[in-house]
Amino acid sequence: MPTKDEIADKIKNSLMDALGVDDDEVVPEATLSGDLGAESIDFLDIVFRLEKAFDIKIPRGELFPENLLTDANFVADGKFTDSGMNELRERMPFADLEEFAENPEVSKFGDLFTVQMISNYIESKVDVED
Amino acid sequence: MRWIWIDKITEFESGRRAKAIKNVSLAEDHLHDHFAGNPVMPNSLIVEGLAQTGGVLVGEYGGFAAGVVLAKLPRAEFYFPAVPGDTLHYTAEVEYIKNDGAMVNGTSYIGGRLQAEMEIIFAQIHDHGAATSLLKPESLAYTMKLLGVFDVDRIVDGRFVLADS
């Protein structure tokens, strides 16, 4: 059973391999796109490396939800609607949505995807040693 | 000139592995500029050759329903240059094939020595859109025929042989 530190190390290695970033860039608050430069295909790569590192299956769209931004029920005038925020809470319980909910602009959506968010997700998928 | 950077596919196992060879020749124009007086096969074309080897593997596995496009090279290492007279032996092994993308590990050997190794990620484009003409499955099938991919087979004990050997 891995400890939180071991999980953090594996996530760090996965992100370093997938994104070609340095050890000291992969800090919990780093955003995948903004700080670490991840682009669309990188998310596929990250998912694969996490699956391999932790020997888990990550269903498509579970860690990085799809089709949210194109649904008019969820997004209007460049912001998530109440129904959109409920959907986010439902689908991304591992993301820190509190601050985002205060001003849920679509343009800030990418900032939810942080190293910490991946840690939260992985810790919800594997047994963690206290 | 056709943008084909492998000469022949020598082994093929659907969804798992493909091998190909590329002969480097001074008859190739680009070697006279790369570099003048010091012909070296560009590493980018070795990447392309391995991507074509892996691309055929990924495309065939999906029944050529999707366009397969080289999307990302997370890692590539080259240990020594390939020069005229060399035969590069490429192997592409599938790491995963998913609906929207795939990854293969590629190696290049010259005379039994590891010359290069890399990870290659492909995007699988299901809605070809503007790129339709470039991604026609028939074009890929034609190229595969040129490369002899339909001439190789797998024998019962798991080894591969050329159909005519």
Query: Can you list the domains of chain B with their CATH numbers?
Result: 8-149 (3.10.129.10)
Candidate from A17-31, A111-125, B81-95, B122-136 with smallest mean pLDDT: B122-136
State the pLDDT at residue B120: 98
Of the residues A14, A16, A41, A56, the best mutation for testing chain B's interface (the one with the most B CB atoms within 10 Å of its CB) is A41
pLDDT of chain B along its 165 residues, tens only? 578 899 999 999 999 999 999 999 999 999 999 999 999 999 999 999 999 999 999 988 988 888 899 999 999 999 999 999 999 999 999 999 998 899 999 999 999 999 999 999 999 988 766 555 555 666 666 777 777 766 765 544 555 555 444
Q: Are A119 and A96 in contact (CB under 8 A)?
A: no
From chain A, the residues in CB contact with B123 under 8 A are 41
State the pLDDT at residue B132: 53
The CATH fold assigned to A1-64+113-130 is 1.10.1200
Strand, coil or helix: B48: helix
ipTM above 0.90, yes or no: no
From chain B, the residues in CB contact with A18 under 8 A are 74
Q: Are B21 and B10 in contact (CB under 8 A)?
A: yes
CB contact under 8 A, B72 and A45: yes
State the pLDDT at residue B74: 95
Give the burial string for A85-101 (b: 16+ CB within 10 Å, else e): bebbeeebebbebeebe
Q: Give me the helix-helix angle, A40-54 and A4-19, nearest 10°.
A: 140
A47-98 residue pLDDT tens: 999 999 999 999 999 999 988 888 999 999 999 999 999 999 999 999 999 9
State the pLDDT at residue A20: 94
DSSP state of B151: G
Active site annotation includes B34? yes
Q: Which of the two residues, B2 and A105, has the higher pLDDT score?
A: A105
Pairing type for strands B87-97 and B67-78 reads unpaired
Quick check: A119 pLDDT over 90?
Answer: yes
- From B71, B74, B123, residue closest to A18, measured CB to CB: B74
From chain A, the residues in CB contact with B99 under 8 A are 60
- From A42, A48, A60, residue closest to B103, measured CB to CB: A48
Chain A 19-78, residues with CB within 8 Å of chain B CB atoms: 20, 41-42, 44-45, 48, 60
CA–CA dist A98, B26 (Å, integer): 64
CB contact under 8 A, A17 and B75: yes
Where exactly does CATH 1.10.1200.10 map onto chain A? 1-64+113-130
Interface contact A18, partner B, CB < 8 A: yes
